[in-house]
Amino acid sequence: MPLLRDTALAAAFDQGADSYDRLTGLSPGYHAQLRRSARRLALGAAGAPVWRVLDLGCGTGASTAALAGALPAARITGVDASAGMLRRARTKTWPSRVRFVHAPVEDLDGAGVRGPFDAVFAAYLFRNLSDPDPVLRAVRGLLAPGGVLAVHDYALGGRRTDRLVWSAVCRGVVLPLGTATGNRGLYRHLWRSVLYFDTAPAFGARLERAGFDRVRVLPLPGWGTGITHTFLARRPPADPADVR
């Protein structure tokens, strides 16, 4: 079975939106790890009094909630290609500084999402894209010079045991739960998308090729140690893209 991409993947998330929060909530540490990655942006240290933050692939808003808690004064724009997931996000209670936009991340400008942003957060996104490289370059362009990108995702650490643990959890827990919701195809895709995407070191190298500097690959604790990571990267303050 090939991986789901683009409109097919958005449609699968539309179908799974009503049960998505319930299933992800069963994963130990799911929300705590999102909060940890959001805190790793460390935007409170210096800079503008009101941060502009872009939450790419925000889904039902779990990542948005993590950002809102970690950055209580930030203006947050959540973007997702799935109308169903965004519909769930909008049913929740949000401060006025949070807004949501329905758009594929490949066409942010067409949806009126324009920088500069002080930070971009992307949880469980890049391994689901047909071609992550142009999106990474576009994200770099949306960031203010010196702005920070945080990517929170499952990415195998390169050890054989990481692959075995991930597949065991998916076969034993994720796929049966996905089947119970009637949307096994989505959860099979999510399992395979991790196996087929970059390892954690390879994704760090991909960020560097996209023009980011200060790239850091930080593991997250819990059952997914060696599988779940925060990737931090910065748009250089003197970015060659700024020279016209």
> Which SS3 state, helix, strand or coil, does residue 218 take?
strand
Amino acid at 5: R
Task: Quickly state the pLDDT bin for 158 (edges 50, 70, 90).
Answer: confident
Kindly report, residue by residue over 89-148, the tens digit of the pLDDT.
Answer: 999 999 999 999 999 999 999 999 999 999 999 999 999 999 999 999 999 999 999 999
- Residue 159: per-residue pLDDT: 85
Could you tell me which residues come within 8 angstroms of residue 46 by beta carbon, excluding any fewer than 6 positions away?
none
Could you tell me which residues come within 8 angstroms of residue 55 by beta carbon, excluding any fewer than 6 positions away?
63, 64, 67, 76, 77, 78, 79, 120, 121, 122, 123
Kindly report, residue by residue over 64-84, the tens digit of the pLDDT.
Answer: 999 999 999 899 999 999 999
Closest listed residue to residue 169, CA positions, set 198, 185, 191 = 191
- Residue 82: per-residue pLDDT: 98
Could you tell me which residues come within 8 angstroms of residue 81 by beta carbon, excluding any fewer than 6 positions away?
9, 10, 13, 57, 102, 103, 104, 105
- Residue 48: per-residue pLDDT: 55
For residues 8-28, give the mean pLDDT: 94
Task: Quickly state the pLDDT bin for 244 (edges 50, 70, 90).
Answer: very low
- Chain-centre distance for alpha carbon 231: 10
Kindly report, residue by residue over 182-224, the tens digit of the pLDDT.
Answer: 999 999 999 999 999 999 999 999 999 999 999 999 999 998 8
- Residue 39: per-residue pLDDT: 96
Structural domains of the chain in order of their starting residue, each with its CATH number: 6-235 (3.40.50.150)
Instruction: Look at the block and give the residue holding tokens 């560097």.
Output: 208
